[in-house]
Structure 1
Amino acid sequence: MRIYALSMWAFLALLTASFSSKAKVTWQTISPEIQFLQQQASLRFYDSNQVLIEGKTCALMFDASGDFAAVEQLAQRLKKRLKTPLCYLVASHYHDDHLLGLAVLQATFPDAKLIVHQQLANEFTHYQKALNDKLDGYEKSIELSYQRLASQPQEQQTVWREKLSLAKQRLFRWRELTLNPPAIRIAKETHLDLGDYPITVMPYQAHTHGDLVLTADHGRVLLGGDITDWLPYPGHGQIDNWLAALTEIQQNSAITTILPGHGAQLTPAELNQPKTFLSAILTLANAQPEKPIGELIPLFPEQIKQDYHFDEVGQRAFVMFLEAGLKQAKSSK
Structure 2
Amino acid sequence: MRFCAFLICIFVSYSAQASVSWHSITPEIQFLQQQNKLRFYDSNQVLIEGKECALMFDASGNFAEVEKLAEQLKKRLKTPLCYLVASHYHDDHLLGLAVLQAEFPEAKLIVHQQVATEFSAMQQALTDKLDGYEKSIELSYQRLANQPEDQQAIWRDKLELAKKRLFRWRELTLNPPAISITESTQLNLGNYPVVITPYQAHTKGDLTLSADQGRVLLGGDIVDSLPYPGHGTFTRWITALQDIQKNTALTTILPGHGKSLTPAELALPLRFLKTIQEMTNSSPDKSVSELIPLFPSNLKQQYQLDEVGERAFSMFLEAGLKQSKLSK
Name the TM-score, length of structure 2 as normaliser: 0.98
Aligned twin of 1:88: 83
Instruction: Provide the rounded CA distance (Å) in 1 between the counterparts of 2:282 and 2:138.
Output: 48
Deviation at 1:18, TM superposition (A): 6.2
Deviation at 1:289, TM superposition (A): 1.1
Aligned twin of 1:159: 154
Q: Which amino acid aligns with 1:241?
A: R
Instruction: Provide the rounded CA distance (Å) in 1 between the counterparts of 2:305 and 2:14.
Output: 29
Q: Which amino acid aligns with 1:328?
A: Q
Deviation at 1:16, TM superposition (A): 2.9
Aligned twin of 2:211: 216
Contact kept in structure 2, 1:222 and 1:259, CA below 8 Å: yes
Contact kept in structure 2, 1:19 and 1:68, CA below 8 Å: no
Instruction: Provide the rounded CA distance (Å) in 2 between the counterparts of 1:263 and 1:213.
Output: 16
- The range that moved more, 224-233 or 9-18, is 9-18
Aligned twin of 2:253: 258
Q: Are residues 1:313 and 2:312 paired? A: no
Deviation at 1:7, TM superposition (A): 4.6
Instruction: Provide the rounded CA distance (Å) in 2 between the counterparts of 1:217 and 1:174.
Output: 35
Count of paired positions: 328
> Which residue of 14, 27, 30 corresponds with 1:35?
30
Instruction: Provide the rounded CA distance (Å) in 2 between the counterparts of 1:231 and 1:14.
Output: 22
> Which residue of 147, 150, 158 corresponds with 2:145?
150
Provide the identity percentage: 70
> Which residue of 234, 244, 254 corresponds with 1:239?
234
Q: Are residues 1:176 and 2:156 paired? A: no
Instruction: Provide the rounded CA distance (Å) in 2 between the counterparts of 1:8 and 1:251.
Output: 50
Stretches of structure 1 that go unaligned for 5 or more consecutive residues are: 1-5
Q: Are residues 1:194 and 2:153 paired? A: no
Cα deviation, 1:11-37, whole Å, max 9, x if unaligned, reads 343133367444220000000000000
Contact kept in structure 2, 1:207 and 1:242, CA below 8 Å: yes
Deviation at 1:156, TM superposition (A): 1.9
- DSSP-derived class of the 1:173 partner: helix
Deviation at 1:9, TM superposition (A): 4.8
- DSSP-derived class of the 1:259 partner: strand
Instruction: Provide the rounded CA distance (Å) in 1 between the counterparts of 2:148 and 2:231.
Output: 43
> Which residue of 70, 74, 80 corresponds with 2:69?
74
Stretches of structure 2 that go unaligned for 5 or more consecutive residues are: none
Instruction: Provide the rounded CA distance (Å) in 1 between the counterparts of 2:12 and 2:243.
Output: 39
> Which residue of 217, 222, 225 corresponds with 2:220?
225
Name the TM-score, length of structure 1 as normaliser: 0.97
Contact kept in structure 2, 1:19 and 1:167, CA below 8 Å: no
Contact kept in structure 1, 2:210 and 2:217, CA below 8 Å: yes
Aligned twin of 1:298: 293
- DSSP-derived class of the 1:150 partner: helix
Q: Which amino acid aligns with 1:38?
A: Q
Aligned twin of 1:3: none
* Change beyond 3 A, Cα 1:18–1:118: farther
> Which residue of 284, 288, 296 corresponds with 1:289?
284
Contact kept in structure 1, 2:6 and 2:136, CA below 8 Å: no
CA RMSD of aligned residues (A): 1.1
